[in-house]
Amino acid sequence: MDHFGSIQTPIMFCRSLATNNMKYVYPLPSLWCAPVMAIVMAISLAMTGCQTMRSPSINLSSTSLQSSTSLPKVVATAPTNLPHMDASQLSGKLIFIYLTGFGENRQAQLIETQIDGSDPKTLYKVNGTIMSLSASRLGDRLIFTVQAGKSYPKVVILDRATLQVTEISGVSGVSGVSAKRTHNFSGAISPDGRQLLLANSQLGNPEIFLTDSSGNVKQQLTHQPAIDLAPVWLPDGKSFIFTSDKAKFLQPQLYQYYFAKQQFLPLNLPGKTNAIARISPSGRLITYVSDNSQGRLVDMATKKSIAINNEGLAEPANFSPDGNYLLYSAKNRIKIIPVPNFETLTPQQSPVSWTIEFTDSNHQPFTIREPIWVNY
């Protein structure tokens, strides 16, 4: 458990509200910050209503951003575990979600640092929460989901050079429901940067749509009563992997959608639940979360799978731009590991990690989520 509550906190479901009223009590922002909980959250919102057992949602109208914004500061790094890894020789930047505060004072920021965690700066901040962070192939744009107060969640695209923000509050071009009264759960930018995949509940249960870069629908890709979320492109742009509870309610699995055939197939990975994939630059390796808390890595060519962390944060590891490293969060730390060699590690082994530990500049409790590594 971290300062923001256990990610396994159960959500109590109910069907007391009429679907057309679309009045929901949102799950806690703390739950939003764990990617796998997006599955549970989406299912609860797709039902006729839901109720959580903790504090109420943030009221944006009565809350303002703190004048003294917290920033992470590096406490210590532990490169001795990986003596061959010198952060000064590695290019790129780290970007991660930084959560502080409780209740109406909850803040979420996107923080950018050097690879060793130094020189932090804020790219984006909100009274609320941020989740489902990813970047374009070049790293020039970030895409993530924001929920502020009682507003509907929206997908945000941030240009890193200009800090210009494009908000996608719904998918345009779908008839029957206002694009502004809908839930955008996650998005992904195509390898060529021209299209988006959006998981959106505009038609009821979350489906995956192909849109242009502004959110205008080109095609609805999934058509089923299941919850379809967290699409991520393969590097060649010919397919994508997503999470769905199609096979069994509340037991999500990973599926691969092929554009040429306009169909999807299960990846058939071991585990009662498998969710939220991340894909290596080569497209051969994927990371995912198995059975709610175990991070795993699988070779898609051989289907060999090994554990890569057991921190219980229900986050998949992300790949470095060169595909040689993995990184993931562990409360107030970021861990970086070399991509394991499947020939030298047994399925239960985890490689040693290089740890970047932070403290808060205002001495507040905080949590780091979903670190990614971009080119520059």
Residue 215 has pLDDT above 90, yes or no: no
Residue 181 pLDDT: 59
Residue 364 pLDDT: 82
- The CATH class given to the 12-374 domain equals mainly beta
**pLDDT band (50, 70, 90) for residue 237:** very high
Residue 62 pLDDT: 23
Instruction: Name the pTM for this structure.
Output: 0.80
Distance CA(251)–CA(244), nearest Å, equals 8
Q: Please report, for the chain, the start and end positions of each structural domain, with discontinuous segments joined by +.
A: 12-374
Residue 220 has pLDDT above 70, yes or no: yes
314 compared with 114, residue with greater pLDDT: 114
Residue 61 has pLDDT above 80, yes or no: no
Closest CA to 170 of 148, 189, 185, 157: 185
Residue 41 pLDDT: 47
79 compared with 131, residue with greater pLDDT: 131
**Mean pLDDT (whole number) for 295-300:** 90
**Mean pLDDT (whole number) for 156-173:** 85
Residue 175 has pLDDT above 60, yes or no: no
Max mean pLDDT among 107-116, 346-355, 359-368 falls in 107-116
Distance CA(139)–CA(191), nearest Å, equals 11
Distance CA(206)–CA(228), nearest Å, equals 6
Distance CA(42)–CA(21), nearest Å, equals 17
Condensed to tens digits (0 to 9), the pLDDT of residues 7-59 reads 322 222 222 222 333 333 333 333 333 444 455 444 433 333 333 323 222 22
Max mean pLDDT among 88-97, 169-178, 281-290 falls in 281-290
Q: By the 8 A CB rule, do 257 and 264 touch?
A: yes
Average pLDDT score over the chain: 75
Lowest mean pLDDT: which of 19-33, 181-195, 220-234, 256-270?
Answer: 19-33
Residue 127 pLDDT: 93
**Mean pLDDT (whole number) for 4-9:** 30
- 3-state SS assignment for residue 128: coil
Residue 295 pLDDT: 87
Residue 161 pLDDT: 95
> Distances in Å between the alpha carbon of 233 and those of 238, 259, 334?
8, 11, 24
